[in-house]
Amino acid sequence: MSRQEEETRTGRYMYAVVAGSGYRNYNFSGIDGGAVYTICNGQSAAVVSDVPNEKIRPVRRRLAAHQEVLKRLMEESTALPTAFGIIADGPQAVREILSRHREAIGEQLRRVDGKEEWGLRVTWDVPDIFKYFVNTHPELRAARDRHCGPGREEKIELGKRFERVLNEDRDDYTEKVEEALSRYCFEIKRNKCRNEQEAMNLACLVGREARDEFETGVSEAARMFDDNFTFDYKGPWVPHNFVDIDLSL
């Protein structure tokens, strides 16, 4: 097999983009145990490893390897993460991606330089969220009493009222938490709640040296709520929610 054929058969799996113009070989492995290294173009570099040039399945071990590389990168530098499964045809294709997005990459690297992402989820810690809302919102309780019949239309109307009140409370509570955390975060992003029990799902961009202060802010915010709420924060992570570049091929 010629060198050109070998290059065509071998893809470069992309994990992230980092600042820097020099080649680097990392001391940890990536997908399927491949060596992790950089391909540079100007002032930025893609962190990659060699894989077969074909679609890669998102099995658990590969997802875990992808996340482990991002975790290791975050420990020492600012990284713009890419989505799972991006494979370039070869080094030149990687350089073309870096060149095509040069300005955006530079802007995003400056935006998240020295920062990391933390996730904060606040949930209602109650056995039945609908009963809790009925008991704490007189207008919803009155609507339930008016629509207590077995008819489908009545149940649909009551469900709509519940959803409206639920979202109104989510907005009010989220504004309170955002205000409390604003002094500890560079940015806060609202993500969609995964289920009815969740009051909010926030991504917070925090300075690397300000983890303790952020934890203090979460504690301050939690004290504004009663025991029916649970605050759960996790991290640090690479700033997935604060990178707006689409580096897909």
pLDDT tens per residue across span 234-245: 999 999 999 887
- Residue with the bigger pLDDT between 158 and 152: it is 158
- SS3 category, 187: strand
- SS3 category, 52: strand
Strands 115-124 and 229-237: antiparallel
The span from the CA of 119 to the CA of 132, in Å, is 26
Task: Give pLDDT, residue 142.
Answer: 83
Angle at 195 between CA 190 and CA 200, to 5 degrees: 30
The span from the CA of 97 to the CA of 75, in Å, is 25
- Using the 3D structure, point to which of 112, 147, 164 is the last residue of a domain: 112
The span from the CA of 122 to the CA of 221, in Å, is 11
- In this structure, what token pair is assigned to residue 201? 């799902």
Residue 208 lies in domain: 115-242
pLDDT tens per residue across span 217-235: 999 999 999 999 999 999 9
- Using the 3D structure, point to which of 86, 112, 138 is the last residue of a domain: 112
Angle at 83 between CA 81 and CA 84, to 5 degrees: 120
Shared-domain flag, residues 149 and 61: no
pLDDT tens per residue across span 165-220: 999 999 999 999 999 999 999 999 999 999 999 999 999 999 999 999 999 999 99
- In this structure, what token pair is assigned to residue 82? 């890419």
pLDDT tens per residue across span 139-148: 888 877 776 6
Task: Give pLDDT, residue 8.
Answer: 57
Q: How confident is the model at residue 2 (pLDDT cuts 50, 70, 90)?
A: very low
Instruction: Report the candidate in 53, 54, 45, 49 with the shortest Cα–Cα distance to residue 22.
Output: 45
Shared-domain flag, residues 104 and 58: yes
Q: For the domain that residue 192 is a member of, what is the CATH number?
A: 3.30.70
- Using the 3D structure, point to which of 77, 112, 147 is the last residue of a domain: 112
Shared-domain flag, residues 47 and 23: yes
Q: How many domains does the chain have?
A: 2
What average pLDDT does range 25-50 have in this prediction?
A: 94
Shared-domain flag, residues 133 and 70: no
**Do residues 229 and 241 make contact, with C-beta atoms less than 8 angstroms apart?**
no
Task: Give pLDDT, residue 115.
Answer: 95
pLDDT tens per residue across span 84-130: 999 999 999 999 999 999 999 999 999 999 999 999 999 999 999 99
Shared-domain flag, residues 166 and 221: yes
The span from the CA of 187 to the CA of 207, in Å, is 10
Q: Is residue 248 part of a domain?
A: no
Task: Give pLDDT, residue 5.
Answer: 47
* pTM (two decimals): 0.86
State the average pLDDT for the chain.
90
Instruction: Report the candidate in 22, 23, 3, 28 with the shortest Cα–Cα distance to residue 90.
Output: 3
- In this structure, what token pair is assigned to residue 243? 């990178």
Q: How confident is the model at residue 248 (pLDDT cuts 50, 70, 90)?
A: low
Shared-domain flag, residues 95 and 134: no
- Residue with the bigger pLDDT between 55 and 48: it is 48
Cα first-last separation, the chain: 27
Shared-domain flag, residues 88 and 174: no
